[in-house]
Structure 1
């Protein structure tokens, strides 16, 4: 029996079969879970196409996490496909190009990044909560990029990730009484759609090549996906507010 046998999971952010989110969905199905994906706008067709590469083709619901109507109707729309929800993967991040210049980024750029990449964790968790309540709890897992440092080129997206990590801690505080665990996986750099939008992303690859004691493959999303799957399972029943690093050990190394 798989570690996610009988679970029902909502997975956001599947855009490519090389993404962490895709491999979370794939592992989840292989481990016995029922999966529902989300997408929106012009990317809906892409997600629907990629979904066919999973072991079982899941439904794809429209969800823009910055759209209040999408969030308000999410629970009812999910009920058309599932009876309840045991877990949610937040694999969403967006920042305008201007946000990747720290000194010149405008508030419009920064506020967009914070809304889509940080506040959305709380918004998504709240939207899914009615279905997790019906299961008497669940697990919210998000993907981050270690925000303790000022990374090259990451700039306001790094600030948004710091807010994202803080949001996770407050969610853990407020949802614990409802038996909902909230944790993050801090993955090393992976060549994903989001990575392609970051100018100078290759600098991260050089850092990990030099500093990861276990080594690091920017083309392998599976280690991070396995950590997400484990946190979505019942194998971490007393862990919340945590950040699990899956980065080859870079976070623990000095300069």
Structure 2
């Protein structure tokens, strides 16, 4: 079998619909030769229907990244489908409505956003360690550039900054164990998740003028390609990095 991920076993979180970055990452990973397992939470029947649209059937394992019991049992449940992992894709983020009001944000909402969107990168990765070792592998997360204060994004922007820092610390601690950890920073996409972000249209509409290389709000493929490249062996000594696949908008001034 040929392909960038030939023979690799990859866990992909965050698939919900065909518009999800995670769906396109799973699709492209399969086309590049990987065996893919998905996780889902809540709307499992929808996720299973979406999984059926992939080039090959992919099992769906239930996972709530805030539930210690789910995390403790994840490796055993994954072993029902694969005998190990070579890659993990973290595409999980959530913020309650209160997380999008910076000055009015209460800790209960903020802590939920940070737990689900940032701490879960660490908890997911450590839950998968029994399957990643001893061969090692690649962990790839999805972020939204957190170096500036975006309009309307508020505490989710803080959560993304925490995600980016978490990735660097994972890269530090897991590098000696043969595990790389990197992030892909995508631009705004019209997805199910975007519908829960107040002011998303205001942010998204500005992206066309900010991105010198152009940006399509309906095309998750550039982000998926970045994820698959980082899962592959093309970057064997790259870790703790953020690869921007946002048309270059992150580098432009106000």
Alignment TM-score, normalising by the size of structure 2: 0.98
Matched, 1:27 2:28: yes
Compute the displacement of 1:57 (Å): 1.3
Tell me the residue number matched to 1:145. 144
Match of 1:16 in 2: 17
1:30-179 matched pairs, under 5 angstroms: 30-41=31-42, 43-134=43-134, 136-179=135-178
Deviation at 1:227, TM superposition (A): 0.4
Runs of 5+ unmatched residues, structure 2: none
How far apart are the structure 1 equivalents of 2:17 and 2:213?
A: 26
Deviation, 1:204, is 1.6
The answer for the alignment partner of 1:2 in structure 2 is 3
Answering whether residue 252 of structure 2 is matched by residue 253 of structure 1, we say: yes
Distance in 2 between residues matched to 1:248 and 1:139, nearest whole Å: 24
2: distance between equivalents of 1:252 and 1:110? 27
Q: Secondary structure at the match of 1:161?
A: helix
Q: Deviations over 1:189-238 (max 9, x none)?
A: 01111111101101122221111111110000000100000001111100
Question: How far is the alpha carbon of 1:252 from its aligned partner?
Answer: 1.7
Q: May I ask how many residue pairs the two structures share in their alignment?
A: 253
Q: What is the alpha-carbon distance in structure 2 between the residues aligned to residue 75 and residue 241 of structure 1?
A: 24
Return the alpha-carbon distance in structure 1 between the equivalents of residues 249 and 55 of structure 2: 33
Measured in 1, the distance between the counterparts of 2:97 and 2:198 equals 8
| Distance of 2:114 and 2:19 partners within structure 1 | 25
CA distance in 1, matches of 2:6, 2:12: 16
Q: Distance in 2 between matches of 1:251 and 1:112?
A: 26
Please report how far the alpha carbon of residue 81 of structure 1 lies from its aligned counterpart in structure 2 after TM superposition: 0.7
Residue aligned with 1:193, SS: coil
Specify the alignment match of 2:200 in structure 1.
201
The alpha carbon displacement at 1:253 in A equals 1.5
Q: Pairwise CA RMSD of aligned residues?
A: 0.7
> By how many angstroms is 1:94 displaced?
0.5
Partner of 2:229: 230
- Distance in structure 2 (CA, Å) of the matches to 1:162 and 1:17: 27
